[in-house]
Structure 1
């Protein structure tokens, strides 16, 4: 944007020289050559990442200061067009409206006013007879009022941007929370039943297409109703959370663990053999059985589980039904065991 703006300004200055609206000896090639060289350096600093080490990585202050100095140099040769050429200062200020806060805009406005005042003082000291004092004061007041307007409007725009950015961040966080609620169980933090069923269809499709192994375990905590009845629902929640933490830590990251409902949990084992799945479930059963709970030092915890291997071509209902049947066989056999079916 800066390079395009300077190109237009260069064309206007060149035409002004040709039409005698500027001093005949205006060194426009030198001014804009220097300006493009400085901006090329800024571009290289930004593209190379060198500017990231600076407090202002976009180099907004430096780019605006360069533009203001170049504008002041052009104004020196602008003759009677100076009043109209003051608008170039405002073009440079526009460059910072969306990047600077009100304090930054005040600093740039003060720098602009200082440069223009220095130009006027220089002209008064070198050629006082050619200066129209009323024009001098008028130009200064117009510039000062315009800069004040930029400070006010720019600060207002910056505040709006900040509020929009904060609102966008709040909406993003709310969306993430809603997304988590949609797929997570509130108590245990595990995936919920709906998300598990969605993933089950995906994993079954992959196993069907690739011919890879896929096992499903349905777990039921033994005598869980007695825990709630004897020690209260808070104790029951602690048992559920303890089991969830053990399972999350003991299973592979590729295994899908979810709360199926109540005291039932499910584990999906992709790309795992029957022996590996049984070993993982046995380790989890031993770890859960060794847990101590503050509300009862004598309570023994265990679970029963049914494990089924996916059979090519079967539906999700059939797959889960066979694992559920294996679970009830494990409970009927005395609980605290893992029953395998589907082989």
Structure 2
């Protein structure tokens, strides 16, 4: 589990424990009030010892939470342990109360509410049965020994407790079923969101990719190239080349469009193999391709285009006999502040010059400027 997530969960559990400890403090305050008003029959020493034991039990739980040992258990919140401990203290308190017993019965459902969202259905019913049988046993024991001041009131208290516990069990079942339905809906929603994200990625891929060659299309190339230009540094130069497959129309006319598609795919495979990671290659339109080489210089751009030209001349097409495959390339450089459209125009002029001079060659825009 991620450490940050673990720490967040642990902080939440500590806050929940602090709420329980605050409830204990309130109960102790009311207990001492009952003692001083004469409704709790116990000596001062017994009161002090009992209060100290309650504080020590909470201190022990705090040590478990603060040290992180609670994370070793299947339920890191230790909900059932805390509820059973609270029910034990409450039953001990009830056993020593007389007329004020009914007033302190409210702490039984209060303790059970602490586990409303965290206990399983079986565990919640088990704790509710423990409450009912514990209180009933105390009442029966005192009734058997004729220690009940008002047996009818004691019977009424047992009946009221039974109704409250039954209502709590039914309500807990309703809450847990509602949480389960919400969890299932959340999982279903998450699955739908994951499906939509996958479909969006596929759509983005379709929008950015040329279906025939698998390369980027013109629109996506312009987006990527603009981003590269915007991120350029002052001392960095990029290389740009427009590449046109020679006599492509004649290939389509003589051998058919399927053969032309195979030639385009062959060039895409050769060019992809010749370029490095980070170079951007795209089908610019028809039989024309464009390549952007980040952090480049004239020598490397020329060497790259020549390597592409020679590799394409050596391509052998399966099932086709097309002789003299070749390409022409127009090259230019981009520096900081250059406009992409202007650079593409320079590369296009260089490409036109390469085709005019006989095709199957690479022409550089800077050579034309120097002339």
Same fold by TM (over 0.5)?
yes
Q: Following TM superposition, by how much is the alpha carbon of 1:283 offset from its aligned partner in structure 2, in angstroms? A: 1.9
- Quick check: 1:71 aligned with 2:78? no
Per the alignment, do residues 7 and 313 of structure 1 end up closer, same or farther by CA in structure 2, a change over 3 Å counting?
closer
How far off its partner does 1:267 sit? 0.9
Matched with 1:190 is 215
Which secondary structure state, in structure 2, belongs to the residue aligned with residue 188 of structure 1? coil
Q: Distance in 2 between matches of 1:341 and 1:30?
A: 86
After superposition, the Cα gap between the structure-2 partners of 1:87 and 1:192, relative to the gap in structure 1 and judged at 3 Å, is farther
Q: Which position in structure 2 is the counterpart of 1:220?
A: 244
Structure 2 residue runs without a partner (length 5+) = 1-11, 41-46, 95-101, 143-153
Indicate the SS of the match to 1:218.
strand
TM-score w.r.t. the length of structure 2 is 0.73
- In terms of mean alpha carbon deviation, does 321-330 or 7-16 score higher? 7-16
1:235 aligned residue: 259
User: What RMSD in Å do the two structures reach over aligned CA positions?
Assistant: 3.1
Structure 2 counterpart of 1:8, from 16, 19, 25: 19
Superposed, 1:134-173 pairs within 5 Å as 134=159, 137-138=162-163, 140-173=165-198
Alignment partners' CA distance in 1, 2:341 and 2:357:
24
TM-score normalised by the chain length of structure 1: 0.79
Q: 294, 317, 325: which one pairs with 2:318?
A: 294
1:212-236 Cα shifts (integer Å, max 9, x gaps): 2222110011222233334443433
Q: Give the match for residue 35 of structure 1.
A: 61
Gaps of 5+ in 1: 46-50, 52-58, 97-104
Aligned residues: 317
Assess if the C-alpha contact under 8 Å between 1:310 and 1:342 holds in 2: no
Mapped to 2, the partners of 1:144 and 1:44 lie a distance apart of 27
> Hey, what's the Cα distance between the residues in 2 that align with 1:330 and 1:295?
30
- Map 1:85-164 onto structure 2 (within 5 A): 85-94=108-117, 96=118, 108-118=120-130, 128-130=140-142, 134=159, 137-138=162-163, 140-164=165-189
Query: 1:266: Cα distance to partner?
Result: 0.7
Q: 1:71 to 1:333 in 2, by over 3 A?
A: same
Cα pair distance change 1:151/1:326, threshold 3 Å: same
Q: Which has the larger radius of gyration?
A: 2
Deviation at 1:306, TM superposition (A): 0.9
